[in-house]
Structure 1
Amino acid sequence: MNVTGTQLEIVMNEVTMRYRVEHGDVLALQQVSLSIAKGEFVSLLGPSGCGKTTLLRLMADLLQPTAGEVKVAGGSAGAARLAHKYGIVFQSPVLYDWRKVRDNVALPLEMMKVGKVERMRKADELLELVGLHDFGNKYPWQLSGGMQQRVAIARALSIEPEILLMDEPFSALDEFSRERLNEELLNIWAQVGNTVVFVTHSIAEAVFLSDKVFVLSPHPGRLSAVVDIPLSRPRTSEMRSQPAFFELITHIREQFEGGESL
């Protein structure tokens, strides 16, 4: 685990989230409490509709909890957002087709009024990090889906965020591309060293990537288990066929209340 001491990065205490709808309220999350250490890679795992993305958005200060408290880097989630402590990668890369790859990566720095020379230097550095240094002058539509997501990761890292929030970034990819990008993501994380919160509905993906897995059960979303992943690092593709890997998958599957299917 890539954790610096025992310093906590994200703490959620008894967080509840209700959405107002036309005919009443929907209880999306109920009294969720969790803590994530600085430098830790954790996954939020659960079936569709269990509140994983809602939980991520609460951490990012994109939503406000109905009840409970969210603390980030020792302060409020709002203060962390204003201090640019977050980088966010969504399910879709959300790249601008009319901007070259390098310009897409540099966009957050441009919005922060960073000079062109410096933001291009940083963009080139990040494209090297994600293995796309030869593609800076291409357009997003000229890249594969997996390459586009690597561009999105580079863009999220451009502001040197303390925390990287990832909402099912590889869910649209085929299995082979997804597994390869899992490995590439861990290589990037090993170099950058930030805290990563990764949303997924794949047990195998959560086990492969994480130091710790938070298992959510739906209707309403509740934290049903916290599972430490003791697999050694660096993680390798060979680990996917080891008994310990399958044992962890089986153990996590057993944590879902009522046997809900992923």
Structure 2
Amino acid sequence: MTEKAVTMIPEIELDRVSMQYPSAHSDVLALQEVSLNIAKGEFVALLGPSGCGKTTLLRIMADLIQPTSGGIKVAGKSAKEARLAQKYGIVFQNPVLYDWRKVRHNITLPLELMGVKKAGRYRKAEELLELVGLAKFADKYPWQLSGGMQQRVAIARALAMEPEILLMDEPFSALDEFTRERLNEELLSIWSKVGNTVVFVTHSIQEAVFLSDRVFILSPHPGRLSAVAEIPLPRPRTREMRNGEVFFRLIAQIRDRFEGV
């Protein structure tokens, strides 16, 4: 596997994005003037403690909610235009699979809703199941799979429409550490083959460092972009890197930045 090249063409551009939620007592400021650029083909992490607005920021990128102020461009267009053009694939914290649909049919659901013919849907499902290492489980039901396998099905479904951007909201946080580390490696393998832009929300410093090209560090409530950490680890990333001096130094540097916010 060769090292993955990242272009510097902007894919996602946020300009002073703020989000304020109404409340019975006083409005809650979730995000405060967040500005950032994400390059096409880049893998970035949104890192911060619980309640810092990471998921809110991801939902704004996906056009699931509208910011109170500020602007967002996706490939030069509005977030709404990008959503309508099917540029996004989204993986949530929980797999959100339908227990009464077999794995194959969970993956083909977006294609079915778009009117793709059955033969084309099944062909795409087989391709994606092979990609995520679940080719033998096409006719199983979600409840027959482990948590990690269910999340791989969710990733396959998110890739069904061949999105340019994959948005992932703490997809492995409910898994044990061993499964989580293995899925980190599998996710990078999938990304190296698909080549899309990935925005990955996490509160794990180790996960952010292992996966990302850059880490956007958000401050505690209200969420502000307090720092951007470049991750100089070579690609492809390997399990052995987790035990290396550079890996631990990067973790320490990011932890120090949290202490300063």
Is 1:27 the equivalent of 2:54?
no
**Aligned Cα root-mean-square deviation (Å):** 1.0
Deviation at 1:257, TM superposition (A): 4.8
Q: Which residue is equivalent to 1:239?
A: 241
Residue pair 1:6, 1:38 contacting (<8 A) in 2 also: yes
Q: Which residue is equivalent to 2:95?
A: 93
Q: Which residue is equivalent to 2:165?
A: 163
The residue identity in structure 1 corresponding to 2:151 is Q
Q: Which residue is equivalent to 1:174?
A: 176
Q: Which residue is equivalent to 2:210?
A: 208
Deviation at 1:174, TM superposition (A): 0.2
Deviation at 1:183, TM superposition (A): 0.1
Deviation at 1:24, TM superposition (A): 2.2
User: Alignment partner for residue 64 of structure 1, among 63, 66, 75?
Assistant: 66
**Number of paired residues?**
259
Residue pair 1:101, 1:137 contacting (<8 A) in 2 also: yes
User: Alignment partner for residue 77 of structure 2, among 75, 78, 103?
Assistant: 75
Q: Which residue is equivalent to 1:103?
A: 105
SS at match of 1:256: helix
Residue pair 2:4, 2:236 contacting (<8 A) in 1 also: no
2-side partners of 1:103 and 1:19: how far apart? 37
The residue identity in structure 2 corresponding to 1:90 is F
Residue pair 1:213, 1:226 contacting (<8 A) in 2 also: yes
Q: Which residue is equivalent to 1:45?
A: 47
Specify whether residues 177 and 4 from structure 1 end up closer, same or farther in structure 2 by C-alpha distance, changes over 3 A only: closer
Q: Deviations over 1:166-190 (max 9, x none)?
A: 0000000000000000000000000
2-side partners of 1:169 and 1:154: how far apart? 13
The residue identity in structure 1 corresponding to 2:54 is K
User: Alignment partner for residue 116 of structure 2, among 99, 114, 117?
Assistant: 114
Residue pair 1:207, 1:213 contacting (<8 A) in 2 also: yes
2-side partners of 1:49 and 1:5: how far apart? 32
SS at match of 1:134: helix
2-side partners of 1:49 and 1:3: how far apart? 33
SS at match of 1:33: strand
Structure 1: stretches of 5+ with no match in the other structure: none
Is 1:6 the equivalent of 2:11?
no
More divergent stretch after superposition (125-134 vs 1-10): 1-10
SS at match of 2:257: coil
Structure 2: stretches of 5+ with no match in the other structure: none
Q: Which residue is equivalent to 1:55?
A: 57
